[in-house]
Amino acid sequence: MIVGWLTIFLVGTDLFVVSPFLPQIGHDLGREPSQLTLMVSLFSITYAIACPLQGHVAERIGVPRVLLFGVFTIALANFLTALATSVPALLASRVLAGLAAASISPMLYALAAERSALNQRATNLARINSGLVIALILGAPLGLVLGNYSGWRLVFGLLALAFLMMLPVNRFSWRASSNTRPQSSSSARAQEPLRGAVLYLVCMVLWGASIYAGYTMLAAALDAEYQLSVGGIATVLTCFGLGATIGSLQGGRMADHIGPVRMVRLCFAMMVCTNVCLYFVYQTHAVWALSINMFVLSLVAYGFFPALQATATQRFTARRPTVMGLLSSSLYIGITTGATASGFVYAAVGMLGVIALATTLALTGAGAAAFLHARP
C-alpha cells in the first residue's frame, strides 16, 4: 500500500504541477500561457481514452506488467518534457505522460483490491487514492516553490528520476501478485459483460460532475461576488481540500463497516443535503460559514470514490482492470462535464445557479445509486 501510495502521489504531482508552471514554460518557449493549456487537456484526454484500453491489455498480459510499463513510460515522458525546446515536443511528451498515467492508476486500484480482504478493500483503495488528493494539496505547491528557484525543467527532471527509482520498487512489491500471469479465461470474462458496469460509470460521472461543478467556479465567484482577497479564497479552497483528504480516508473505513453500496448511497444523500445548505449559506456572505460548509461538503462527498470502486471490484473479478480503467475515465468525463456546465450556468445566473446545478446532479446520482448492487 505504501508503494502504491507513493507511485500515485507522483502521478498526481506530475498532473497538477503543470498548470502553475504555464507562465514559466510560456516565457521560455516564447508563448502565452493561454496557448499552452493544451498541455493539461491532452494529458487528460489521453488518460481518459487510454484507461479502459490499458485495462483490456492488462486482462491478457497481467496487471503488474502494464503497471511497470506505465512507470517506465512516465519517467521517459517527464525527461522529454524537461528537455523539450518546442511546443510540439512539449505536447507530445504530455500525451505520452497521459498514456503512462492510464497504465498506472487503474492498475494500482486493481492490485490494491486483489491484495485486500473484502472487509478492508475500500479502506485500502482510499489509502491509495489519497495520494492523488494530497498531491493536489502538497505535491504541486512544493514543485512550484522548487521551480521558482531552479526552473520548471529541473522539477520535471526530478519527477522522471523519482519514477525511475520507483520502477524496481514496484516490480519487487507486486511480483507475488496472482495477476503476474493472467488467470482469467475468455469464458470467465464473458460471464462478466461490461454492460453490467454502465450503472457504476453513470454514478461516477454524476458524482464528478456534481462535486466539480461547484468547485470549478468557486474562486471566480468569491472574487467577483464576495470581493475576497487571494488569501481568503485560498482559505476556503484549503478547507475543501482538507475535507476531501479526511473524507476519502475515513469514507473508505466507513464503507468497509456499513458496506460499499450503502456508502455510495449515503454520500449522494449527504451531498444533496450539504449543497442545499450551501445554497443558503452562500447568500449570507459569511466567509467562516462558507468555509465550514465547503469542508463538510468535501468530507461527506469524497468517501464515494473508494466506496464505488470497492462495489465494482466486488461485482467484477475477471474484468476488474478494464472496469477500474472505465471508472477512472468516467471520473474525468464527469469533471469535464461539470466544469463546462458550471461555466455556462455561472455566466447566465451566477453562483446560486451553479449550486442548484450541483444539487440536481447529486440528486440524480442518488436515484441511480438506488439500483446499484454488489455481488456477495
Are both 18 and 109 inside the same structural domain? yes
Give the chain's residues under pLDDT 50: 178-181, 183, 376
Q: What are the respective helix, strand and coil percentages of the chain, to the nearest 5?
A: 85, 0, 15
Place of cell 467484477: 316
C-alpha cell at 124: 485500502
The position carrying cell 493544451 is 38
Domain end, chosen from 156, 183, 210, is at: 183
Residue 376 in domain: no
Provide the residue range defining the domain that includes 151: 2-183
Contact 93, 62 (CB under 8 A): no
Residue 296 and residue 206 share a domain: yes
Task: Please tell me the predicted confidence (pLDDT) of residue 80.
Answer: 96
In this structure, are 120 and 235 located in the same domain?
no
Q: Are residue 143 and residue 247 in the same domain, yes or no?
A: no
Query: Are 177 and 202 members of one domain?
Result: no
DSSP run (H or E) holding 275: helix 260-284
CB 248 within 8 A of CB 137: no
Which of 257, 324, 286 has the alpha carbon at shortest distance from 108? 324
**Contact status, residue 109 vs residue 1, Cβ threshold 8 Å:** no
Tell me, yes or no, whether 241 and 176 share the same domain.
Answer: no
Total-model pTM:
0.81
150-193 confidence digits (pLDDT tens): 788 988 999 999 999 999 999 998 875 544 445 455 666 667 77
Domain CATH for 114 = 1.20.1250.20
Domain final residue, candidates 183, 214, 249: 183
Q: What's the Rg (C-alpha) of the chain? A: 20
Question: Looking at the domain assignment, is residue 210 inside a domain?
Answer: yes
Are the beta carbons of 310 and 110 closer than 8 angstroms?
A: no
Do 170 and 224 have their domain in common? no
Residue 180's pLDDT is 43
pLDDT computed for residue 190 by the predictor: 64
For residue 128, being part of any structural domain is answered with yes
Number of structural domains (the chain) is 2
Q: How many Å apart are CA 70 and CA 79, to the nearest integer?
A: 14
Q: Output the pLDDT for position 92.
A: 94
Q: In this structure, are 231 and 361 located in the same domain? A: yes
* DSSP per residue, 112-171: HHHHS-GGGHHHHHHHHHHHHHHIIIIIHHHHHHHHHHH-HHHHHHHHHHHHHHHHHHHH
Cα dihedral: 75, 31, 48, 84 (round 10): -20
Tell me the C-alpha distance between 278 and 298, whole Å: 12
At 176 the pLDDT is: 57
Residues 163 and 197 grouped into a single domain:
no
Are 153 and 284 in the same domain?
no
Tell me, yes or no, whether 375 lies in a domain.
no
Query: Which of 183, 206, 241 delimits the end of a domain?
Result: 183
Same domain as 350, residue 318: yes
* Residues, the chain: 376
pLDDT (0 to 100) of residue 186: 62
C-alpha cell at 127: 489509502
pLDDT at 181: 47
* Residue 144 is assigned to a structural domain of this protein: yes
**pLDDT tens digits for 89-103?**
999 999 999 999 999
